[in-house]
Amino acid sequence: MEAQRTGFGVSYEEPDEEALSEKEKKLPFELKRRILLVRRDIPSDENFGCCPEKRSVQELINFGVINLDKPSGPTSHQVSDYLQRILGIEKAGHSGTLDPKVTGVLPIALGNATRLAHLLLTAGKEYVALMHLHSDVPEEEVRARLSGFVGVINQKPPVRSAVKRVFRKRSVYYIDVMEIDGRDVLFRIGCEAGTYIRKFIYDFGEKNCWGASMSQLRRTKVAHFTDRELFTLQDVADAFWFWREEGNETFIRKVIKPAEQILDCLPKIYVSDNAVDTLCHGANLNVPGIARLESGICPEDTVAVLTLKGEVVCYGTAKMDSDSILASEHGFALKTDKVFMQSGTYPAAQRPENPQSQNL
């Protein structure tokens, strides 16, 4: 349902009420219902830039992302290396290590998109785990005790880990017990990045004096990347072969998505064409360069900056909130942190005779 807001020319879509159900089973970023706000309704020149979905396959390989189904056995680093060999690229980076025996969602950024992969780390993750209890426990008690672990927990990383073994706070967003069969408990858990599920299960058993160990673990979500559309290494190899040997792009375009998909968990600002090139040189973003933005942006939030065609220009740190940007004609809106678009992609803006600032 579309709606209009008077004042500064704002249009937006009403949130889908059905999407607001089952809040207790969502990661924090999924609970934020962002509305697209239009500050200036202007078009983008079709002669410059390109919609991400219209990039060539080679461009996707050099600046794309694959939602990979990690197999049991190899390390996450090895899987990234296999992918590099299949696609013939020099760089590929994953967004969070999985133990060798753990399977599931492993988003892998390709080429220059590796510089975006770390942005997924703060959005949370979801796992399905099979826990084996070392004692017989009534089902109702297991469910009640697990629900007590939702919230902030103190966790010390296991002996075999890549981080310093000191207690640290981690958030458990939800736990959903899916099935209990004797001493085996299958449950889904949504948690903050850096939470060790094997250690979580061990600590759960120790605290309740039952004893518990992890039998199996599968990651089902990393931010907005889910297990609903996963691709295996063999899928990637087959898709690449069809494209290279037969010129068939259908399969590889399903497997490799534009790098901008990594940014789906971040709030966004869309800039006018004449603001793009100066941002490409590292300038900060001022209010006049903004055409559209999403609601809910707060100062110090990490924000993705896109063209009106949806191409990533850069990301940065917000210095104004959404309402202030919308209501203002001037102001320092965002500090540019990292630039991705090549200068010259869009024409340079006409500079005033006596420029007062290097910012837009």
Check residue 257 and give its pLDDT.
98
User: What is the mean pLDDT, run by run of 10 residues, along the chain of 360 residues?
Assistant: 34 39 75 94 96 97 98 96 96 91 97 94 92 97 96 89 83 97 98 94 96 97 95 98 98 98 97 97 97 97 98 98 96 98 91 54
Enumerate the H helices of the chain as residue ranges.
57-62, 76-87, 139-147, 197-207, 233-246, 250-255, 273-280, 322-327
CATH topology for 2-52+263-339 is: 2.30.130
CATH number of 125-222: 3.30.70.3190
Known catalytic residue at 99: yes
Domain spans of the chain, in order of start: 2-52+263-339, 125-222
CB atoms closer than 10 angstroms to residue 351: 8
Q: pTM, whole model, 2 decimals?
A: 0.88
Q: Of residues 41, 81, 99, 301, which has the active-site annotation?
A: 99
Q: CB-based contacts of 355: which residues, under 8 Å, 6+ apart?
A: none
Two structure tokens written together for 88:
């013939």
| One-character DSSP codes across 179-203 | EEETTEEEEEEEE-TT--HHHHHHH
Check residue 24 and give its pLDDT.
60
